[in-house]
Every structure is written in C-alpha cells, then in structure tokens.
Amino acid sequence: MKLIADSGSTKTSWVLAEGGSTVRRVSTAGINPVVQGEETIVSTLRELASQLDGQPTEIHFFGAGCRGEACLLMRRCLAVVFPDAVTEVESDLLGAARALFDDREGIACILGTGSNSCLYDGKGIVENVPPLGFILGDEGSGAALGKAFINALFKGDLPEDMKREYLEETGQTYEDIIRHVYREPNANRYLATTSLFISKHLDFKPLADIVEQNIECFFTKNVDKYGRRDVPVGAVGSIAYVYADTFRKVAERHGYRVEHIVKEPIEMLVKVV
C-alpha cells in the first residue's frame, strides 16, 4: 500500500491507497521540517500510524519547506515510524504540479495561506519564481489578501459600516488586529482568515476589486515571468478554489488557458504517484 501526504504548516492530508483507490484518509497537524524538530514530527507521525489500517510499503510525502536538509530530516522521521517503507520526500510545489499535470508541461500555482508557482516539464520543476514569504511577497495568497483588506478597512477605502460589521462578526478591535499581526506567532495564518468574511461579500464591487487586484499581482509578479503562454495553468489551494472565477478571469486576461483548480491536490496525487 502507498501512503501519500500533502502537507502544509497548518494541516497534513494523508491518504492510504492501494491500486489507485483510497483505503483510508486521515488529517493530522501540519508538518514543516524547516520550523519543526524531529521530536515534534515523529510525535505527529506516531499519531498518524495509530489511525491507519495496515502498514504502507511506500510513502510519498509532499510538504511545505521540503528542500535540502529539511528533506533529509523528514526522511529520518518517517524511517523512525515506518522503518520498512520506501520513502520519497518532495516539496508541496512538486506535489501540486504532479497532481495538476502528471507527465505534461504546465505552470502550477499554489494559492493558500501563502503562494508559490513553477514551470513544470512533466518530470520536475524547471523554473521557480521565489515566493519570498508573506512580508516580501506571496502575492495572491490569503495572507496578502488579508493585508490588503485590513489596510483598505482602516484607511477608509471601504465603508465604515463594513468595518463595523467585520469587527462585530469577528469580535475584534483595532488593537486586537495589531496585536495578532505584530506580536503573536503565525501572522500569515491570521491574515488569511479574513477570506472567510471577504468571500461572503463578493457582490460588493470594491471588495471584489481587492480580490482581483491580489490575483492580478500574482500573475504579474510570478506567472508572467515564465514567458510560457503556450502551456496550461493550474492551481491548488483554498484561495484559488474559493476565488476560482476571478482566477480564471485574470488568467484569461493575461493570455493563459486554465485547466484545473482544486482545493487540495491529495486525491489527484493518489492517481499519479
């Protein structure tokens, strides 16, 4: 049996599969070997193992931060809990590309809490515009959308009654928001939660414009840099999925053909790894 994982910092989706069919699906805490130590990762993997029906012979782990030394750490952790399994550890970006295009060329995009993209040749990543994280980049992401929304809310670009509604609905004050962003951990995740409110008010044009500008910036700063309008574009992630119509609209305006937009790549990975 194969154990396939799509992991971010917040959540890891696992599928135990046999013959291309799902045997069991499990969710655990997110695993990111860049920011987590071996003890934390192994603890999460032991929790996973207790929920599986059977032991995998192969493990394909696609995760955020899985490059270089982080890949080696992840392999060591997997070997502790699943010593008999053959393991593959790759980036979540390669996982997204395989899920979207299998063995064909394409431009793969991730738009979730953060963002990323690559030019994929059907085997591997051949070009990657660095995302730079939510402070310096991550255009199109939930974190970038949250920054633009909060800015517009308090700088007077959105109506006062919308600001009042947002603060009342989330039970926050201006001071709470500043504290979350500047003094507490995971500011990127916090900013991305604004999408829950934004997605319910897309009929209000100024808010829809903020969403469109965010995705427009993603294409201008990332996708356009590959110079490959001859290959299809695909996207995974909650932001791409929730704002799929806007993503397609912007892509078409930039001259691209969009194939797939999926919330999570895990089910598609089951069919191709």
Distance CA 57, CA 74 (A): 17
Count Cβ atoms below 10 Å from residue 193 Cβ, excluding itself: 14
Alpha helices by DSSP H, listed for 121-173, are 133-136, 142-154, 160-170
Q: Comparing 2-84 with 100-263, is the CATH topology the same? A: yes
pLDDT in tens, 17-71: 988 788 899 999 888 888 788 999 999 999 999 999 788 999 999 998 888 899 9
What is the distance of C-alpha 144 from the center of its chain?
A: 13
| In this structure, CATH architecture of domain 2-84 | 2-Layer Sandwich (3.30)
Which two three-digit tokens encode residue 210? 């903020």
Helices and strands (DSSP H and E) totals, the chain: 13, 10
pLDDT in tens, 184-235: 988 998 999 999 999 999 999 999 999 999 999 999 999 999 999 999 999 9
Exposure pattern of 161-192 as b/e (b: 16+ CB <10 Å)?
A: ebbeebeeeeeeeeeebeebeeeeeebbbbbb
Q: Which fold has domain 100-263?
A: Nucleotidyltransferase; domain 5 (3.30.420)
Provide the residue ranges of all domains of the chain, joining segments of one domain with +: 2-84, 100-263
pTM of the model: 0.90
